[in-house]
Every structure is written in C-alpha cells, then in structure tokens.
Chain A
Amino acid sequence: MDTIWFIAVALMITMYVLLDGFDLGAGAIHLFAARNDRERRTILRAIGPVWDGNEVWLIAGGGTLFFAFPILYASSFSGFYLPLIMVLWLLIIRGLSIELRGHINDPMWASFWDAMFFIGSTLLAIFFGAALGNVVRGVPLNRDGNFFQPLWTDFNPFSETPGILDWYTVLIGLLALITLIVHGANYLAVKTENELNARFHRIARLSWVALVVLTVLGTIATFWVSPWLLESFNERPYGYVLPLVAIAGLGGIGLFNFRRQDKAAFLSSSAYIVGMLTSTVFGVYPRVLPAVNPENSLTIQNAAASDYGQAVGLVWWSIGMVLAAIYFVAMYRLFRGKVRLEDEGY
C-alpha cells in the first residue's frame, strides 16, 4: 500500500513536470525566441488555455503527498521553509503575468509582464531542480524527523554543512532549467509555424547540446554525493530500464530535431523527463526523504498515513484521476493544432 502511494505521488509529480514543464520552459525562452508582440502573444496563446490545468498537478500532487505521507509533508515543507515560500511567490507572479498581460493593450504593460513571466519561469525551473537535488543528496533530519537548512552557506563542495543552494543543487537546478527549455521549445515548435517554428528548432538544438553535457555532469555528481543510489538498481536490476528510457529520450530529441519531426521530438523530451525522474525516485525508494544520517531517513513506512486512510484514499483518488485524465484529454483535443493569431475565435 505504501508503495502504491509512493508510485502515485511520483506519478503526479512526473505529470506536473511533463505538463507544466513545457510552459515553464516556454517562459524561460520566450523573451529570446519572440521578436515582437505578435509572436509573444502566439506563445502565450499556445499555453494560455492549458497552463492552469498543468499547474493543478502540482497542487493536487502536493495535496496527495500531504495525504499519503503526512510526516514527509510536515518535515520537508517546514525544513525547506524559505525556498518553498519563494516558490509560492514565483508561482503567484508567474500566474499573474500570464493572465493579466492581455487585459490592457499597452506596450509597457506587456513588457512588464513579459519580464515577470521570464523571471518567474526561469527561477521556478531552477528551484524545482534544486529541490530534487536536495532530496537526492539527503537533508540533516534529526531523530524527530525535522530539519532546518540555511538557504546557502559557502558553496564549498567539501562543506560539512551545505546549504539548500550549493554547487550540486544549483547544478541540478541548471539541468532542470535546460531540460525544460528543450521541452518547452519542442512543445512550441509543435504549436507554431514558419519563422517562429524554425527559431524554436534552433533553440532546441542548441540547448540539447547543453543538455547532453549537463546530463553527464549531473549524473556523475549525483553518484558522487549519493553513491547509495546505485544500491536500489543493483538490488532490483529491472530498474536499469528507467535510465535507458532517459538515454533513449535524450538521443531522440537530437535525432528528431535533426529530422524536423516536432511531435516525435516533443515525445522524446517527455521520455527523457520521465526517465530521469523515475530513475531518481527508483534510486531513492524506499526512502522518501533521505537523511544525512541514514538512520533518520524518512521512508515510505515511517512517513506514511494510516492503512485505513490510504485504503479509502485509493478509491477516491482513482476516480479523481480518471476524471482528471478525461478533462485533460478533452482540453488538449479541443485546443489542438497550430496556433494562428488570425483565428482569434477561441
């Protein structure tokens, strides 16, 4: 049961990164890709109807995490106090920037929100990556399952007391940013035509090179800070298929970009994200929040809700997810196809 919920939460977070990932990536590149107001509006139009639904995966995922592993929720959210509140601020600013930009037709108004959209999206991508980095590296949990970590200390790789932001977590943050840029560029290439489409191609290609480099660096660094991750794979060798998915996705991005097959490239970056995230959680399992002192780690057992609570939850959660899947398929079908500003009519 605990394992089912571990998978369920991981699934929701993966869905979040897959879906909101491309609109975060879009925010991180739109200032450079779009040359005028018309092109900016095209980008916003491509994500406008779906971004809010995408973000619901974060909220619902957070709620499910709270429900399935209350101890984990309490411990990690309070331990990451400052960065988490900053993420909330960024989410607020970014949401407003997407929604309010179109309300007043004025170049200064638009420029301001464009900048906010860029800043919010870029920093969120980095923060989310850094958060994952912290989980993988482990946090200084005490015996009661609580911890406090400063936002940063000295960035010294050999520091005894690394901060939430240090060389490793920032590296993972950058990896996340580049990943989402590639993902966002692939999505926007699918949704646009002509010159804009060509520009997203170029962005995807250039950032793909950076992504390959960062993936190698990030992987080496990860096994250096947390060598125990390999244990999971050695105990359950079938897990090796997950990194293979990521590698296949990474290769696919480059291949399909070269062949100008936008949809296949987008599916490849999706596969890469799924592969990377699932490899990470597979390595972390059965821990949910590894501690610096392994004895204090939170695991799926000691952080879980009661059996009864998890059992009834499984019923409504399944129903809720089926409904959510229906809404999403319907919404993406309704708003499918290339974005053209001429047919303003939706």
Chain B
Amino acid sequence: MEDALTPSRLQFAFTVTYHYLFPMLTMGLALLIFVLKSIYMRNSNELYNKSARFWAKIFAVTFVMGVVTGIPLEFQFGTNWAAFSAFTGDIIAQTLAMEGAFAFFLESAFVGLFLFGEQRFGQRLHWFASLMVFIGTWASGYFIITTNAWMQHPVGYRTLEHGNIVLADYWAVLLNRWMFAQYAHNMGGAVVCGAFVMAGLGAFYVLSGRHGEYGRIFLKVGVIAGVLSSIWMLFPTGHFSSDQVAHHQPVALAAMEGHFRTEEGADLVFIGQPDVEKLEIDNPIVLPGGLSILLYGPAGGEVKGLEDFPKKNWPDNIPLLYYSYHVMVGLGSIFIGIMMLAAFMLWRGWLFTFRPMLWVLMLAIPFPFIANTAGWFTAELGRQPWLAYGLMRTSEGVSPLISSGSVLFTIIGFAGIYLVMGLLYIVLMVREVGHGPEAEQATLENTESMTA
C-alpha cells in the first residue's frame, strides 16, 4: 500500500524529532554533571556537589522522557518500515541490538545508582556512577549514530542473489568513516545544548537574585563548555561533516546550499528563498565565490549544481533541507559569537554583573534545541530520496500491508500523548528551577522512584 508511505515518514519524523529533544540535553548534561562532580572531588566545595545533585534532578526527568519516547523508535523500524528492516536488518540491527546490550543495561543500572546511591555508598562510588552514566549515554549515542551513518554511507555489506544485503565486514560497519565526523559533530551539539541550558539557568539565577552563588557556578562551567563546544561544531567537526557530504552526497550538498547551477566560483548563499521550479534563489544575499573556496580552498573550483543530477535522485524536499541547513549554520555561528563574548567577560570578571549579557544567555536556552534539530533535518532530508544511500529508496522501505488510515490513527495518538508529556515536562522543570539547588535534599531523599 503505497499510501502509507507519507504518514509513515511523518510519524517517524515526528517521533524521532520529539525524542531527540531529550537525549541532546541528557548527553550534554551527563558530561557537565560529571565535570561538576569531579571538581567537587578535587576541591571538596559543597556548592559543586549540590550543583551536581541539582542537575542530576533535571537530568533524571529528561532522561525518563528520553527513555519512554525512545522505545517507539526501535519498534517503528518493524511496524512502519518492514521492507527496509527485512532488507537491511542483517546490518542495522547489529548496532541497534548492541545498543540494548551495552548501553541500555549500563544506563539503567548506573542512573539508578547515581540518583539513589550517594548517601548509601559514598562519594567515590557516586563519582564513578556519574562517569558511567556519561559513558552509557554517549555509548548509546555511538550506536545510534553508527546505525544512521550506515544509512548515510553504506559499508561492509554484500548483496545476495535474491537482492537482500547481508553483513560482510563487522568492523567496517562499526568503524564506518562517515560515523567519526557525524558522531563528533552530534555529541558536540549535545554539549552545546547542555552548556547553553546550564549557563542560561545560571544567568536566570544571577539576574533574579536567587541562588546567586549557584548561578555563578553554572555560568562559569556553562560558558567554558559552551565556547569550546560551539567552536568544535564549526571546526573540525562541521567542516569534515560538510566535506564528506560534498564527496559522497554531492546532490544533497547542492540542495543544502541552494546551489542550482554548476559553475566555477560558486557563490555561498547566506539568505534567500529557493525556487525549485525556476532553479534559483530569490532575494539572495551571497558571498561571491564563497562556496567554491569553502569546498576547495582559496584556488576555488567547479561545484556541481542540482541541474546536473538526475531529478529522481534529488532530495524530495529541497526548500526544507535548504532552510534546515541554513538555520543550523546560522545559529551555530551566533552561538560562537555569544559564547566567545561571554567567555571574554568571564575572563575579565565582568560577566556576573553585566546584565545584558546575562539576558542574552538566558534567552538563548531554546536555540540549541532548534539548531540540533535543524542539523538532524539536514542529515535526514539530505539522505532522501534514499533510506540506505544508493541502495534502497524511501518509497521501497515502507511496510507493505499497513494502511494509511492505521498510520494516521497512530500519529494522532502519538501527537496527543506527546503534547501532554511536553506540558508535564515543562511544569516539572519550572518547579525544579523554582525550588532551586538548595531545596533538592528534601525531595530527592523522600520519593521512591528511580528519578525522584
């Protein structure tokens, strides 16, 4: 049933986009909590320990949201993408199953230990648990990125006579070239997210005159992590990511850049609206020759435009891909500016009293979520029209016997549940932030569930 294709794509896009809002924060925070806890272990400053505990609570609620929204993704490969699962299962299920065996068990054990174990088992084990939580969440990220990297750039497979493909080289899949830049870029994005949230909340506490001593710690750790990670997103990881797209998915690169015509000295488009019918950018603001220089260095070179690729291999939503990419790059550049300025002020000792900068940091909190989401849209829309690049088209991967009505039914169900969850999450976050780092003792020790 061909018509289940569009709702199935919509459902996966919706559930995976929603899901990833949570892990991008937990993976970033896992590192920063480990940093806070490690600082405490060195200097025994109780403020750092309480900071770590406060962020552990934010982490815990976010982690639960990530867990429960993650389960549907693993199952949707089978429910909605049965043909794809049957075709590539020999390979992508390796990494997905490894995530279960190595990351999920580890996370479930150590998150529990980390959230419950401090009083009972002492500081050293608590520090160790924070390290393991960090490793577990980042391992989980590795397995998912490796799975996605294989879809972007299939390696280590062999085609059988009847057309299905099987695993031929395990290590080639696990150490897929594509994975390295993508993993480094993606995890950097998670750290940017964690850093902006931490710095932004610190700015809020300093601005509002509550918990100022914690606010300053959050600002310090957040800004230092923020400036390092924001630059990391541009170079080296952003650079290498776009480099490999240029080499292996040139048609995706052309669409991302809004580059329609093949030319020497191709312009770099900053702003403008792509017109896919007329093959041009409306109202462009460009850097002349910029794209060629970016890709091939100062000497420049010819960049193939979309017109030179068969239309059936074009990404099927070029404007959205173009905007996603530009939003990601634009926001990423702004992040570098904000964080460099904030880091400079931190160094000069102005940051805690210069209120406009604190306002900027506080109001910036939502934007890393947008940038990371736009980044994933770029990767996934750029992969279209393929499910596994060059091997299987998206239209061929959908489950053969499900009806579009069934899928629409489940989309509506997911939308309803996720809306309620989002509201709950916001309510709980607002409460935690309102209670502040000092109040944490009372609630953390008095509830029964894992994430209390």
Scan residues 73-120 of chain A and give those whose CB is less than 8 A from a CB of chain B.
Answer: 73-82, 84-85, 88-89, 91-93, 95-96, 98-104
Would you list which residues of chain A between 248 and 275 have a CB under 8 Å from chain B?
A: none
**Given contacts A52-B108, A74-B399, A77-B79, could you give 16 more A-B pairs where the C-beta distance is less than 8 Å?**
A48-B449, A52-B112, A67-B89, A78-B400, A88-B72, A98-B450, A104-B431, A148-B402, A308-B167, A312-B170, A320-B98, A320-B101, A320-B105, A324-B105, A334-B121, A345-B119
Which single residue of chain A is at the shortest CB-CB distance from B407? Answer: A81
> Is A74 a contact of B120 with CB atoms below 8 Å?
no
Name the one of B100, B446, B449 contacting A98, with C-beta atoms under 8 angstroms.
Answer: B449
* A70 closest partner in B (C-beta): B89
Q: Helix, strand, loop or mixed for chain B's interface?
A: helix
Of all chain A residues, which has the CB nearest B100? A60
B94 and A99 contact, CB distance less than 8 A? no
**Assembled-state Cα–Cα distance A49/B110 (Å):** 10
Asked if B97 contacts A67 (CB within 8 A), the reply is yes
Majority secondary structure of chain A interface residues (helix, strand, loop or mixed): helix
> Known interface pairs A73-B78, A81-B399. Does A306 touch B166 (Cβ–Cβ under 8 Å)?
yes
Interface: B419 (CB within 8 A):
no
Q: Does A228 contact B (CB under 8 A)?
A: no
Residue of B nearest to A341 (CB): B448
- Taking the complex as formed, is B33 at the interface, i.e. its CB lies under 8 A from any CB of chain A? no
A41 to B71, CA, bound (A): 26
Kindly identify which residue among A41, A52, A66, A78 contacts B93, using a CB–CB cutoff of 8 Å: A66
Q: Contact mask A208-224 → B, CB, 8 Å, 1/0?
A: 00000000000000000
Give CA–CA (A92, B15) in the complex, Å.
13
Q: Report B163-185 residues with CB < 8 Å from chain A CB.
A: 166-168, 170
List, sorted by A's number, 30 A–B pairs whose CB atoms are closer than 8 Å. Answer: A44-B448, A48-B449, A52-B108, A52-B112, A52-B450, A53-B105, A56-B108, A59-B71, A59-B100, A62-B75, A63-B98, A66-B97, A67-B94, A68-B97, A75-B86, A82-B410, A84-B78, A91-B68, A91-B71, A92-B68, A92-B417, A95-B67, A103-B428, A103-B431, A146-B401, A308-B166, A316-B101, A323-B106, A345-B445, A346-B116
Look across to chain A and name the residue whose beta carbon is closest to the beta carbon of B451.
Answer: A99
**B75, A60: Cβ atoms closer than 8 Å:** no
Which single member of A88, A99, A146 contacts B400 (CB below 8 Å)?
A146
Does B406 sit at the interface, judged by CB under 8 A? yes
A317–B79 Cα distance when bound, in Å, is 24
Interface string of A14-50 (1 = CB under 8 A from B): 0000000000000000000000000001101100111
Given A44-B448, A96-B424, A103-B428: A88 and B77 within 8 A (CB)? no
Contact A56 B105 (CB under 8 A): yes
A320-B98, A345-B120 known; A99-B167 Cβ under 8 A: no
Chain B positions within 8 Å of A309 at CB level: 90-91, 94, 166-167, 170
Question: Measured between alpha carbons, how far is A309 from B167 in the docked complex, in Å?
Answer: 6
* Cβ-defined contact, B75 with A84, below 8 A: yes
Q: Does B109 contact A (CB under 8 A)?
A: yes
B431 to chain A, nearest CB (A): 7
Chain B residues with CB below 8 A from A146, complex form: 82, 399-401
Chain B 395-423 per-residue mask, 1 if CB under 8 angstroms from chain A, else 0: 00001111000100110011001000100
Most chain B beta carbons < 10 A, residue from A68, A80, A316, A328: A316
Is A169 positioned at the interface, with any CB of B under 8 Å from its CB?
A: no
CB neighbours (8 Å) of B119 from chain A are 345-346
Closest partner residue, chain A, to B452 (CB atom): A102
- Interface size on A, as a range, is 35 or more
Interface assignment of A71: CB less than 8 Å from any CB of chain B? yes
CB distance from A99 to the nearest CB of B (A): 5
With A103-B61, A346-B119 as known contacts, state yes or no: A93 contacts B446, CB within 8 Å: no
Verify B90–A95 contact, CB threshold 8 A: no
- Nearest B residue to A75, CB-CB: B82
Report how far A317 CA is from B88 CA in the complex, Å: 19
A305 beta carbon closer than 8 Å to chain B? yes
The docked-state distance in angstroms from the alpha carbon of A104 to that of B452 is 10
Q: From residue A109, how far is it (CB to closest CB) to chain B in Å?
A: 10
Judge whether A85 and B410 touch: CB under 8 Å: yes
Q: Within the complex, which residue of B67, B69, B108, B448 is in contact with A102, where a contact is CB–CB below 8 Å? A: B448
Query: Which residue of chain A lies nearest to B108 when distances are taken between CB atoms in the complex?
Result: A53
Chain A CB within 10 A, most for which of B72, B78, B102, B402: B78
Bound-state Cα–Cα, A148 to B403, Å: 10
CA distance A313 to B92 in the complex (A): 12
Complex interface bits, B233-244 against A, C-beta within 8 A gives 1, otherwise 0: 000000000000
Which residues of A lie under 8 Å from residue B89 when comparing CB positions?
66-67, 70-71, 73-74, 305
Q: Mark B105-125, 1 if CB is under 8 A from A, else 0.
A: 110110111001101110000
Residue A225 is within 8 A (CB to CB) of chain B in the complex: no
Question: Do B106 and A327 have beta carbons less than 8 Å apart?
Answer: yes
A64 at the interface (CB under 8 A from B): yes
CB proximity of B103 to chain A, nearest CB, Å: 10
B41 at the interface (CB under 8 A from A): no
> Are B97 and A92 within 8 A (Cβ)?
no
Q: A144 within 8 Å of B by Cβ?
A: yes
